[in-house]
Structure 1
Amino acid sequence: MNEVVLEKMEALDSGEVIDSMTDIVACLNTSDSIQRFLLDIHCILQKVTYADNFYVVLFREDGSLTFPYFHDVKDDINPEDLEALSLDEIAHSLTAYALQSQSVCNYNCEQLHQLVAQGRLNIIGTVPKQWLCFPLVNRNNFMGAFIIQSYRREDEYSGVIVDVLYTISHVISSALDAFNNQQALVEANKVLQNYQSELESKVAERTQELESSLSELQKEIRTREALQQRLEHEALHDTLTGLTNRKFLFRELNNLAERSKRGPVSVHILYLDLDDFKPINDNYGHHNGDIVLQEVARRIQSELRSYDVLCRLGGDEFVVVLSDPIDRPVLMQICTRLIACLCAPISLEEGQTVQCGCSIGVANNHGVFTAEALLKCADSALYSSKELGKNQAYFYDEPVL
């Protein structure tokens, strides 16, 4: 096993895997299409292992296969071309062959050539050095699979990585099922809204005839409006801290990005990640960890202006958006105040106190920008801050592309 593989295994720990699973669930709040949902999952898997070559295959209701997401560094295959393949062509593919087993498949290059020589399958595209297939099963429903492959080495994925990916596949299966249900609820809500519009029109036309029942109808409408408002609030806010969430952040950044196309806009991103938070969860329990996160949210909010945007991305990550011109010395003062207030002791329910620091990555736009690019730059700056040491801020000085 080469040094690169060893380094990957040493770098992988249970905390990173749990964070990846949490991020996968968090994708439910940010994805408005199956393609975006799977793209987010792809990005998360790339943090766990080498996953440049990744695609997903799902079963349709009629039993045929569909490929909602496909990314490969060697074969430039258009997902629409995969959708156009006939059932006979797909039936003899490596993917279809693996799906028949409904279990984890791990093939190297030699094994694949043997299967082809035996006439058991045909390989579409370049033969990989290592090919992994993980079934997507939720509540005994076999939905399909996701595939990760490497053209570099036959030992790209160790047994540890395979086990980790298999564990993550259960989370992806549950999240995918939840996403499908969520999309079904969205469609049902559209039907409900159309029905409500028709109902209100009929009420207007028959007011005189239905005077006695008008009060009940109005009460029902108010209940629905209150429910809609509550659902909208919950969709844009974090239930633990009450802060806005990732979905709200991207909506705000996308609005600012559109404004940047029409004129000058100053946007500063402060990407905060708590230092030494994991030991608090491990030593005092997740309940006390939640208390710490709530107190951290309150302290950050107290250092900001009422119109500044503060959101919790998930876990112990927070993002501050400042949307007016601010010089670097002032930004550094803000970061220094935030770090100082978060380093102060935090009281737990049992009378105990804990402390955790904070690392900050700072990025700002240079003219026109995109939400994803700007947040990625702030994340990169945060990584540099962590690398240089704890309880400090690092500024991203490269142009935001």
Structure 2
Amino acid sequence: MYSSLDLDLRPGSGLGIFEIGSSLWSVLDLLRQNNTTFPRVDIKFEPQPASTTPVILHVPPHLNLLFSGRHQRLRTITLQRLRDPSLLLTLRYREIVLSSSDEKLKRVDVSRHFGPTYPGDGLQYPGVIFSFDEDGIAEGFVSPISGVDDRLREVRRVIVTQNDPDGEESDALDEVLELPSMFGSIRRAVVKAGEGIDMYFYPSSSQPVRVRIGMTSAQDLNCDLGPPLRVYHKEDDRMAIHATKQSHGTIGDAYFYNYFQHGIDFMLSGTSHLVQKIILHSNVPGSPMFQRYQRCPWEIEGEPEDEEDDSPPRMQFFDKFEIISHFLNPNSRHDVPSMLLDRADDDMLTLPGATTRTALFLRSVTSLTFAFAGLAGFEGVILEVTESGQVTTAMVF
């Protein structure tokens, strides 16, 4: 049994509680908060490559939400089955009822409320398309039905898209241009192995926030990022056995600042309250940690070719592990050693296939805590990798 819906249409901006440009993580969280209205959500994506696949949320019976592949931003909202007799749906535009169980939305009504538009089987306006075809997500308009007055044709679907400021038609799978709904979230995080990260936020005019290991304090994080969504204390020194120099007794005082909305965890010393480790989450669909965190679009920065090089080479979160491995270890002739990590040990996980491999890239092996269920590595960066070569998390220390 589905609840009745009363949705306001905002061309180029959103529909109901959904805003174009919102992240996949925030929309799924919003759906969880409204689970009585939206009791079911189907997540659809191509498994290869999972890190850059567009994601579709099918929210039966009316909604399909399409998210861009790299930044996982809401790109297209499709509303269908406008007048199913068994479902109660009201669609409004500027307080005017366009469609309801008693009100049929016809071509002539669209023209009356939105004005003239270019000829075609569908009515396309900046930021919204009215389709007479019941199927599909954003394309596939059908020709006029024989014997039916074209002015009286019933609208079957409404598609809300981003309004291109240049007036050009964009591909449905393009990335979302910068919107107010994205302000305050990370657009990229540049990793400096063994040092820290530089975080660049929306809007693009914002100043970057720099976090340095052993220098940035808990107070700095609160000032720059706001309070974390959760502070987590956990004793876990299982990886200490792999350390070249044992450091027992140092982990129990550590704690995490969890910024789920940014896709980042910071591990801080319990004594100095300085950042010790930084964990960046890729939010890869189908991986064990999917949807725990918003995607953090991280990039690992390499050494510049010379002192005047202001654009050093970088590897990004969607690059295959083999490529990143060679980037971090260009002179190595051997495969990077890895440790098996079984996410099924985490009693909060219910996903199948919870096995990943963890690449080791640290100069000095040190013990970690709960966020990784025990990992280690060399050269200042740890990568958690799926069997298909997707990097799901990167840790810096």
Shorter-normalised TM-score: what interval?
under 0.3
Tell me which protein shows more helix as a share of its residues: 1
Higher strand share: 2
TM-score by length of 2: 0.25
**Higher normalized contact order (CA 8 Å, seq sep 6+, divided by chain length):** 2
Per the normalisation by structure 1, the TM-score is 0.25
